[in-house]
Chains A and B, each alone.
Chain A
C-alpha cells in the first residue's frame, strides 16, 4: 500500500459520479498529483475544496499507477476571501490554470511550490501583480525555459537592459537593441537583472511583463504540446488592462 502525506495547493476539482471528485493537488514533494476524494463532490466538502486552498493531502493507493484516493485537510482558505475581488480572483484562476496545464504529473517541483505558495500569500493582500509576473517566469524556469535577464546577450552589460530576444529569451541593452527594437520584446525595469523591487510596477510594465512571459509560455510550453494558453490567463490580462485604463482615466 502506497501512503504519503504532503503539503498541497488545490489546483482543480472535477465532479466524479454523484458524490466524489477527482482533484489535482500541487504538492511540495510529489508535484502535481491527481486523486479521488470520496464525498468531494458533496455540499460539506465544497467549501474546503475550492481551487487555491492550501491543504494537507494524504494520498493512498495499492499500486503507483492507480489514481489513488486523497483525503484533504484544509490548512488555509485562500479562495474564499478573494471571491469579491475580481482582479485577484482572476489572477488566482490564471495561476492555477497555468500550473494545472503546464506542470507534468507526479514530478516534484519544490521550488515552484514555494513560489506558488508565496504568490497565493501575496494575492491574499498587498501588492501582488509583480509577484504574479515573476511567478510566470519561475514557472518557465522550472520547466527548463528560464530567461536570462541579468545581462545583455550582445555586450554583456548589466545596466539599462530594455529588451528581450523573442527567440533566445536573453536580455538586450537599450543601446545594443535599438536597431531591432521593433522585433524585440520589451523588458520592464522590474524584471531587468532578475527583479527584486518590492513596489507594485506600473500597469504598462506589468502588461509588458505578461506579454514577455506569455510569449515564451505559448511558444515553448503550450504550442509544443498542441495547446493554447489557458483562457483564464487571457481573461485575467483583459481585466488588468481594463482596470489600468479605468485608473488612468480616473487620474486624468
Chain B
C-alpha cells in the first residue's frame, strides 16, 4: 500500500477515539485527496490548538485563555460551583445550557483499582477555592457509579464545616427511558427518589 509516511498518518489517526484502522485509512485517504480543503486547515487547527490550548488554572477546563471563558464570564453565578470528573462532563453541561454557574474539573475519580487517591485529583484546589471564595452551593455532578459516589462522599466530607450547601445530582429514570429496559440499580434509585404528584 502507501509509503511509511502514509502508514504513520493512518496509525496516528487510528489511535483517536472512535476511529479504528479501517476508518483511519479512509480519513487519511480523504485528507490526502483534498489537501487544500481538509489537510491544510487540519494542520493549522492542530498546530494552533497545540500552541494555545491550556488547562484553566481556576477550574481545570481547556481553553485558549487562562482563566477560561467560563471562569472569566462575569454574567455567571459565582455562588454556584459544579464539580465534574472530566472536561467532557463540563462540555456536556455547557451544551445543555442549563447551568449558569462555574465549574471545577476533578480530573477523575477515586479508584482503588487504578491507585487514584485524593492527592491525584484536584480536590485540594476545590477546597481552597470554596474556602476562599463566594460559593453558596457546591453541586457534585459525578457519575452514579461506586467510584463516582465514593468520590462525591469524600468531597462532601472535605467540605464539611464550610458554610455552604453541598448537593448531588438526582438518580433515576432517564427522560425517554422505559421501565422495561432499566437495570435493577436504576429502578431502585428511581423508587427511592419518588415524589408526590
A contacts, CB < 8 Å to B: 12, 14, 18, 46-48, 50-53, 74, 76-77, 79-81, 83-84, 86, 89-90, 92-93, 96-97, 100, 230-232, 235, 239, 242
Instruction: Say yes or no: A77 contacts B184, CB within 8 Å.
Output: yes
13 contacts between A and B (CB under 8 A): A47-B182, A48-B184, A50-B145, A50-B146, A79-B185, A83-B189, A86-B153, A89-B153, A97-B112, A230-B112, A232-B112, A235-B150, A242-B157
Q: How many residues of B contact A (CB 8 A)?
A: 26
A11 to B96, CA, bound (A): 35
Q: Name the residue on A nearest B193 (C-beta).
A: A84
A13 to B183, CA, bound (A): 17
Instruction: Say yes or no: A48 contacts B183, CB within 8 Å.
Output: yes
A100 to B111, CA, bound (A): 13
What's the least CB distance linking B191 to chain A, in Å? Answer: 10
B171 within 8 A of A: yes
What's the least CB distance linking A49 to chain B, in Å? Answer: 9
Contacting residues, chain B, for A96 (C-beta < 8 A): 112
What's the least CB distance linking A89 to chain B, in Å? Answer: 6
Q: Which of these, A46, A86, A93, A231, contacts B115 with CB under 8 Å?
A: A231
B149 within 8 A of A: yes
B131 within 8 A of A: no
Ordered nearest first, which 9 A-B pairs have the shortest CB separation?
A80-B185, A47-B183, A86-B153, A77-B184, A97-B112, A232-B112, A77-B185, A83-B149, A12-B113
Q: Which of these, B114, B144, B156, contacts A83 with CB under 8 Å?
A: B144
Instruction: Say yes or no: B113 contacts A92, CB within 8 Å.
Output: no
What's the least CB distance linking A76 to chain B, in Å? Answer: 7
Instruction: Say yes or no: B149 contacts A89, CB within 8 Å.
Output: yes
Mask, B163-197, CB within 8 Å of A = 1, is: 00000000100000000001111101100100000
B107 within 8 A of A: no
Most chain A beta carbons < 10 A, residue from B157, B171, B185: B185
What's the least CB distance linking A50 to chain B, in Å? Answer: 6
Q: Name the residue on B nearest A246 (C-beta).
A: B160
Q: Which of these, B17, B112, B154, contacts A18 with CB under 8 Å?
A: B17
Instruction: Say yes or no: A235 contacts B154, CB within 8 Å.
Output: yes
B18 within 8 A of A: yes
Q: Which of these, A48, A92, A100, contacts B146 with CB under 8 Å?
A: A92
Contacting residues, chain B, for A235 (C-beta < 8 A): 110, 150, 154
Contacting residues, chain A, for B185 (C-beta < 8 A): 47-48, 50, 53, 77, 79-81
Contacting residues, chain A, for B18 (C-beta < 8 A): 18
Instruction: Say yes or no: B115 contacts A77, CB within 8 Å.
Output: no
Instruction: Say yes or no: A80 contacts B186, CB within 8 Å.
Output: yes
Interface residues of B in 100-133 (CB under 8 A from A): 110, 112-115, 117
